Structure 1
Amino acid sequence: MGTFIVLVVLGLIVFLIIRSMVKAKKNGKSISCGGDCKNCGGGCH
């Protein structure tokens, strides 16, 4: 019974994270880049 509860809680957390990522993508926000290239250490330059 405890394993089932943990599984449901983890599934809910994963679902909420994915939903948040999809919502951010629909709003035009990048999931991995903030769009601030002058302060970016990545490949924006």
Structure 2
Amino acid sequence: MSLQSSAPMPRLLRDMDSGSTHVRRTTLLKKELLNLESNT
């Protein structure tokens, strides 16, 4: 019983972690695009 209740937590944390890294990557890409636009 306790195993079933504790199982979803690590998966949720992993999804949150991958989501934050995805957001960080997209923000970096946006910064690079802005830099390219300002350089030209």
TM-score by length of 1: 0.61
User: What residue in structure 1 maps to residue 7 of structure 2?
Assistant: none
Asked which structure has the greater RCO (Cα within 8 Å, sep 6+), the reply is: 1
| Number of residues of Structure 1 aligned to a counterpart in Structure 2 | 29
Q: Which runs of 5+ in 2 are unaligned?
A: 1-11
CA distance in 2, matches of 1:28, 1:17: 17
Does structure 1 residue 28 correspond to structure 2 residue 39?
Answer: yes
Secondary structure of the equivalent of 1:27?
A: helix
CA distance in 2, matches of 1:17, 1:8: 14
Identity %: 0
Q: Which runs of 5+ in 1 are unaligned?
A: 30-45
Moved over 2 A (4+): none
